[in-house]
Amino acid sequence: MTQQDKNQSSNLPTRKLGTQGLEAGAIGLGTMGMTMAYGAGDESDGIATIRRAYDLGVTLFDTAELYGMGTGSNEQLLGRAVKDFRDDVVIATKFGFDMSVPQTGAGFALNSRPDHIREVTENSLRHLGTDHIDVLYQHRVDPDVPIEDVAGAVGELIAEGKVRYLGLSEAGPDILRRAHAVHPVSVLQTEYSVFERAVEAEVLPVVRELGIGFVPYSPLGRGFLTGTVKPAAEYPADDMRSWDDRWQPGNYEKNLAAIHELTALADAKGITVTQLALAWLLAQGDDIVPIPGTRSPQRLAENVAAAHVTLTPQDLARVQEVLPQGAAGSRYPEAIMPSW
């Protein structure tokens, strides 16, 4: 990273996430990969990366009960990392699974009953070492619990000062409207990147109509858009890329070819393909704050510097030409695919 990049990234611009008062640096940090899904992590490295992110201007930090597999380990890591500057950052965490039920091929059982929401929230507050959660997301829509009950339960926690903003994750237009009618939804978190474009047709228009901010997770295609990829068979079993459809034979080669074309565009602009992918997302609206995850302080600085990259209309057209409909391959197996 050049000195110019360092100087720029330390002045990370802020963005408004919706109309309820939530603001954050234009690039956030997802912490899931520090404890799950991408192989074994190192706690000291995770804490160092989070603190480095804060130094670079990152203020939105994303965790979840699920990321500690019910133990609270991911939330605890984040809480320890931000304890010296807790009031300067936005902590987002999530409820929505029943971690006491063994995982099946369809993932963990869902549970968004109001009493469970309160139980998980109290646990999260303790694990994070804080007296309030800035954004509390429903991690996945629970078909057995009316969304009105969910919004009402989080609204009660907001009234008590334990939560500041209600968020939803992987919710469709109808769910968004119904929740928002009970308590304002401040932000929606759903996968979105040059690889994954499903939200563009119906979800983003409703988000903007209702004044809801948008937080894309997996903005780098789970690492594919970093340009440092290898076939699925070369990843260990505890790395989700070993079974991710986009890494499987046939899809992998098509996606790799697209990355090569995007890399050529990035090289011509003097940036990395990672920065191109993040700058593309930021160019989709000033109500968007992506949360790329990384364990590397160097990669982190590269990600943050993407907030200062300007893409021309020609650049955006070229990205669309290379990936008109996103990546080859589905983003989740059918059994755990979120349903809108």
Q: DSSP labels for 273-287?
A: HHHHHHHHHHTT-TT
Catalytic residue (one of 38, 67, 217, 235): 67
Query: Where are the strands (E) in 155-288, listed by range?
Result: 163-169, 185-191, 213-217
Reply yes or no on whether 67 is catalytic: yes
User: Are the C-beta atoms of residues 243 and 237 closer than 8 Å to each other?
Assistant: no
**Among the residues of the chain, which ranges form H helices?**
3-9, 43-55, 73-82, 114-128, 147-159, 173-182, 199-210, 251-269, 273-282, 297-305, 313-322
Report the first-to-last Cα separation within the chain, whole angstroms: 40
> pLDDT tens, position by position, for the chain (340 residues)?
343 444 344 589 999 999 999 999 999 999 998 886 555 567 888 899 999 999 999 999 999 999 988 788 999 999 999 999 999 999 999 999 998 887 776 678 999 999 999 999 999 999 999 999 999 999 999 999 999 999 999 999 999 999 999 999 999 999 999 999 999 999 999 999 999 999 999 999 999 999 999 999 999 987 888 867 888 888 888 777 887 888 888 899 999 999 999 999 999 999 999 999 999 999 999 999 999 999 888 889 999 999 999 999 999 999 999 999 998 888 776 666 676 6
